[in-house]
Each structure stands twice: as C-alpha cells, then as structure tokens.
Amino acid sequence: MDIFKKLKEYARQINEIEYSISSNKKEFLEIYERNLALEQEIVERTQELDQANKAFLTLKHVWDLMNSSEPLANVLETLVNSLHGEMGYINSTILQLHEVENLKYFQIRAYSDSRIYRLLNNYLHRPLSEYKLPYDSASPMVRAISEKKIICTKDYLGVINSLLNDLSPEQLTEINKLGISKNLIIIPLITTQTVFGVMLVFSPREDISDKEINFLSLFANQVEMAITIANLFETIRKEAVTDALTGLYNRRYFNESINKELERAQRLRQSFSVISLDLDFLKKINDMYGHSFGDMAISTVADIMKKNARSIDIPARLGGEEFCILLPGIDSAGAMIAAERIRASIEACPIETVGHITASIGVGTYPEHSKNLDELLELTDQAMYKSKINGRNRVTLVSTADDNGWQEVAIGAFADIVNKKRIPVPDNMIGEINEKINATRESMSKDSLYSVVDMISTLYNPNAVAGLTRQKIELATRLAQKLALPKDDIDKLKVSILLYDIGNALIPEDIMTKTTPLSDEEKSKIHQHPLLAAKEILEPISSVTDIIPIIENHHENWDGSGYPRNLSGQEIPLLSQIILLVDAYTAMTHERAYRPALSEDKALESIQQDSGRKWKKELVDEFVGMINATKRKN
C-alpha cells in the first residue's frame, strides 16, 4: 500500500515538474520570439537611420551647391550624381522643357552614369544631350508637370521608348534584360512658377514608400532652389560681360578677349582679325523717329552679327553705334568675306518705319597690318572711318602703306630739325636722337615716334609730360573721325600736333619755366611762338609746308581774341581749332607747376564755358559728347 502511495506521489511530482517545464518552455519561446522581433526592429530602425542620414547628407550637398557660384550645368550634374550614389538609385536624369516658336520638347541637361545609359549611348546615333525629346501631353512627364505632383510607374521601358523612338524592339529587350529598375519616379521641377522640366529617378525597389516620396519631394524643392540660384549667378555673370540692349559682349570683355587672343596668336604664330563696324546715320534715325527706333536699329545690327558669328568669335558692342568682332584664326581675306556678308545682311534687313539701314565697316588683321594691338585697333577704326568718308555702306581693309605716310613725314621733319640744328640741340644728344629716328624709320612704330617727340620736347620744356603727345593725337584723331574729315586732313592734323609746339624751343627757358604771371613783353614772346615755329623752323622743310597754316593759327580764338593775327570764325582752319581744343583739355587735366590737375568733368565744364568764344560751339559739343561717351564705356 505504501508503495502505491509513493508511486502516486512520484507521479504527482513528475506532473508538477512537467508542468513547470512546459510553462517555462512557453515563456522561453515567447522571450525568444520577442527577441527576434526586437532584433528585426533594430535592423529596420538602423536601416531607416542610415537612409535618413544619407538623405540628410544628400540635402546638405544640395544646400552647399546653392551657396556656390557654380554654373548651372555643373550644379545639375552634381545633383543627379549625389542622388544616384548616396541614395542607391540606379540612375537620375534631369530633362529641361524648351519652347521655341510654339514647339515644346524636352532635352537632357544632366544624367548620372549607369548601365542603362551606357547601353543607350551604344545604341544611339549621337550623344543623348543632343536629342530633342517629344513633348506628349499623354506622357507621365507632362502629367507630372501639369498636375504638379510626383508620379510613379513600373513601365520605365515604355517611357524610354516614348522619348527615344530610335530604339528597336531588340534593343529594348536588351535593356529589359538588365532587370535593374523596378520603378520610375517622375518629379516635376518648377522654379518661381516657371516649369524647368522633370527629374527621372530609376529605383531598384519594388515598392516606393511614403517616406521615400516625401524625401524626393523635399529633394526636388532643394533642386528647384539650386536651379534658381545657379540661374541667378549665370544671369549676373552674363550681365557683367554683355551689353544690356543687344546681348552682345561689352567693351570690357572684348578687351580681355583680344588680349588673350594676341597671346595665343603670338604663341602659335597664327593670324586673327578685327572687324570694326559703325551704324550709319544713327543720330538722324534718333532725331527723325525717336530713340526707340534707334535702339531697334542697334538691336537689328546686333542680331545680324550674332547670326553671322562662329561660336569662337567675339561680337561686341563698344557703345553707341560702335561694334567690333574678334575673329580668331582668320586672315584678312577671310575677314573681308565675313565683313561683306554682315554689311549685305544689314542692308537687306529693313526696319519698321525707318526702312533700310547701313553700316560702315573696317577690317584689320594681326600680324599683317600691325603686331601692336593698340595700333591694330586704331588702324581698323581708321579703315572704318574711311568707309564712312567714301560714302558709307562699304567695307575697307586696313592699308598700312597709307597710314605710315604721316609718320614718314614727321620722322623726316624731326631728322631735318635736329641735324640742321633748326632748334638748339646739345651736340651730345644729336647722336642719341638720330638713333631713335633711325629705329623709328625701320620699325614704323608709333611708340618709337612718340619717344622721339618726348626726347625733343624736353629740350625746350623741362616740364614736358611723357606720353602727352600720344594722348593729344588720339583725342584729335577721334574727334576728326567723328567729324568725318578726310584721311589727308587727319594725317595733317597728326603731323601738326607733333610739330606745333616746336617754336617753344626758341623761347627763353626762364619764360618757359616761370611760375609767376608773365609780363607783357614775355607774353608777346609767347604769342610769337606759332610764327617762329612756322617761319624759322618749318618753312624750310618742304614736306611740311602744307601744315604751316594749321600751326600758325592754332592759338586763334573763334571770337577773334586769339593770337597771333586775331582771326575769327571761319577764317580759322578747323584743324587749328581742334589742336587748340585738345591742347586746352590735356593741359587742364594734367598737373602744372602753378596748379593741380582738374578732373575730366571740371575740364569739360571750363571748355563749355568758352564755347562760342574760344571754339566753335558745334566743335565743343562733338568733343564733350565724345569724352562723355568714352567715360560711359569705361
């Protein structure tokens, strides 16, 4: 009996143990399952955190781009590659929407590298960026833009085929075999109410979560802002180098470009040409029809220049009606063909109300016409003014032989003056001056000629300013060209400016350097210097006899109050008036022993006060307008 009781007790204890084990097993299983679920949640949260971190880095990258001044093309390329690389997408592409003459189409602006695009590039006949992709109102791209929302589609092959119908079924099959894209996400890009285009994102994931859509929406907003800022930088950069009215390059950019081209041409021993163009009768158009029609004429010329320019040419508006085109690598024959094509196109393009317009054009070539850039530009301008003088609406090529004529006359005159001692010259300086004269004869360089002038000027004027003669000639030449004077007159003017002060060499030095007011006797000697220059120094030199009247009268005033003969009005040669005007302006804008230099504005104000007294009013108006136009250009 006791045995049965013990067995029964053992059975009870075994049941309790089994129950306890069973209960613990269930608890252990529950704990194990909870651990598995927790581990899975940790993995998922870690992945989400990693994805969020990548998203943050991507958006930070966009923010950094927005705060840079990178060109738009660089910004877009960096954006698609950051999305592609950091977020694990197969490919990212930005399509820009264009509208030309009511025709809409997409064009690829940027795309990241991927197997899909490498395969497409192998199949297509030209680079992807050159394709004009169709704008189909039924396409998901257009729907995304019109509805302003992100659209997802699994039919990425259908989208590719609708954009690139150059692909064959076999090629589409090959792309499909890649099997790498499960979804195409189409994101509209709209900047400041303007449609820029769409961004296509090829995803390897079967399902696109709301979080992913939210991230891409945020990314798109940042991209839109980056595009806006990049466009702003491009606009500012463009405005800095272009003319607002015409869209042509401005004077600053043209000068920078031609200096770079000179370096390149010297290094490679190549030619380049310059076309100088001036619109005919712009003032008449403005006066008759109003400035709006003048602007229309200027814009028409600019458009024709753009259409006829190569991608490497630099068409520029220098100001007013003046234009220039730099033609890298083009010789004079090619430049003449280009210039004639532009001239004919301008003449053939009528303007509303105004009718047909024309232009006068000059052509110069490096190194054929000059190896000195300033001289080449001056010669080209002179050729353009020769077109104007000879009847306008024509093209003139620089003629170096004609231009050198005035320099030869001046050099010959200086050689005669020095060697025949028509002015006092120290014996120890004659050899040095002759060396410079001979060097100038060989090179026909204006720099050498001006150095001769500077050296001789110091013989009779210790306070002579180096380079002042060059400035006087440049100002006088521009004014004479503005007045459309013949080339012969302009050449006489240049020689006259080089020689008109030579009579000062016969004035005692103590008078020339005196800082206190001159006595009447001293003034009389000063007043005689034009006649001294003409009669005693220049008259024996046969090559300059035709400039003697110009030099004799270059101190005569318009109202008859000048010297030495008290001529007035039309009795005074126009070239003498130009010399008097330019001499007064340069004297006022340079420091003297008895006064500081005046500003350009103050000098012009002083000249205008004497308009009609010292100078003919129309001459002053042209000169003041010319100086002010130069100030605006600079």
Q: Are residues 434 and 568 located together in one domain of the fold? A: yes
Q: Count of alpha carbons within 13 Å of 280, Cβ hemisphere only?
A: 23
pLDDT of residue 56: 46
pLDDT of residue 93: 87
384 domain-assigned: yes
Q: Are residues 330 and 217 located together in one domain of the fold? A: no
Q: Are residues 232 and 255 located together in one domain of the fold? A: no
**How many structural domains compose the chain?**
3
Structure tokens at 25: 């097993």
Q: Are residues 488 and 502 located together in one domain of the fold? A: yes
Host H or E run for residue 130: none
Look at residues 365, 381, 398 and tell me which one is the last residue of a structural domain: 398
28 domain-assigned: no
Question: What is the domain-level CATH number for residue 200?
Answer: 3.30.450.40
Give which of 323, 361, 165 is closest to 247, Cα–Cα: 323
- Under 8 Å between Cβ of 337 and 330: no
What is the residue range of 76's domain? 72-240
Look at residues 240, 271, 303 and tell me which one is the last residue of a structural domain: 240
429 domain-assigned: yes
Look at residues 240, 274, 295 and tell me which one is the last residue of a structural domain: 240
Q: In percent, how much of the chain has pLDDT > 70?
A: 77
Structure tokens at 130: 């050159």
Question: What is the domain-level CATH number for residue 317?
Answer: 3.30.70.270
Mean pLDDT of the 533-539 span: 72
The winner for highest mean pLDDT among 34-48, 184-198, 215-229, 310-324 is 310-324
pLDDT of residue 88: 73
Q: Is the peptide bond before 169 cis (omega within 30 degrees of 0)?
A: no
- Under 8 Å between Cβ of 134 and 142: no
Q: Are residues 317 and 415 located together in one domain of the fold? A: no
The full 3-state SS of 376-431, as one line of letters, equals HHHHHHHHHHHHHHCCCCCEEECCHHHHHHHHHHHHHHHHHHHHCCCCCCCHHHHH
Give which of 450, 540, 428, 535 is closest to 494, Cα–Cα: 450
265-278 confidence digits (pLDDT tens) = 999 989 999 999 99
Mean pLDDT of the 457-462 span: 68
The full 3-state SS of 508-546, as one line of letters, equals CHHHHCCCCCCCHHHHHHHHCHHHHHHHHHHCCCHHHHH
Host H or E run for residue 290: none
* CB-based burial label for 555 (10 Å; 0-12, 13-18, 19+): buried
Is the pLDDT at 463 greater than 70? The verdict is no
Q: Nearest 5°: phi and psi at 246?
A: -105, -20
151-171 confidence digits (pLDDT tens) = 999 888 788 878 877 677 787
Q: In percent, how much of the chain has pLDDT > 90?
A: 30
Mean pLDDT of the 184-194 span: 85
88-106 confidence digits (pLDDT tens) = 788 888 888 988 878 899 9
pLDDT of residue 59: 46
Host H or E run for residue 194: strand 194-203
393 domain-assigned: yes
- Under 8 Å between Cβ of 437 and 452: yes
Per this entry, what is the length of the chain?
634
Is the pLDDT at 632 greater than 80? The verdict is no
Q: Are residues 615 and 540 located together in one domain of the fold? A: yes
Ranking 119-128, 301-310, 373-382 by mean pLDDT, the lowest is: 119-128
Q: How far apart are CA 602 and CA 61, in angstroms?
A: 55
pLDDT of residue 395: 95
43 domain-assigned: no
Per-chain mean pLDDT for the chain: 81
Ranking 316-320, 333-337, 398-402 by mean pLDDT, the lowest is: 398-402
Q: Are residues 313 and 299 located together in one domain of the fold? A: yes
Q: Are residues 113 and 131 located together in one domain of the fold? A: yes
- Return the higher-pLDDT residue of 547 and 57: 547
Confidence of residue 4 (pLDDT cuts 50, 70, 90): low
Q: Are residues 363 and 324 located together in one domain of the fold? A: yes
List active site positions: 321
595 domain-assigned: yes
Q: How far apart are CA 235 and CA 254, in angstroms?
A: 18
pLDDT of residue 150: 92
Mean pLDDT of the 368-387 span: 88
Mean pLDDT of the 447-461 span: 75
568-618 confidence digits (pLDDT tens) = 999 999 999 999 999 999 989 988 766 788 899 999 999 999 999 999 999
Is the pLDDT at 444 greater than 70? The verdict is no
Q: Are residues 220 and 296 located together in one domain of the fold? A: no
Where do the DSSP E strands lie in 451-596? none
- Return the higher-pLDDT residue of 6 and 544: 544
Q: Are residues 430 and 510 located together in one domain of the fold? A: yes
Q: Are residues 258 and 129 located together in one domain of the fold? A: no
pLDDT of residue 579: 92
16 domain-assigned: no
Q: Count of alpha carbons within 13 Å of 415, Cβ hemisphere only?
A: 16
Mean pLDDT of the 55-61 span: 49
Q: Is 316 helix (H, G, I), strand (E, B) or coil?
A: strand
pLDDT of residue 164: 77
Question: What is the domain-level CATH number for residue 437?
Answer: 1.10.3210.10
Q: Nearest 5°: phi and psi at 565?
A: -115, 0
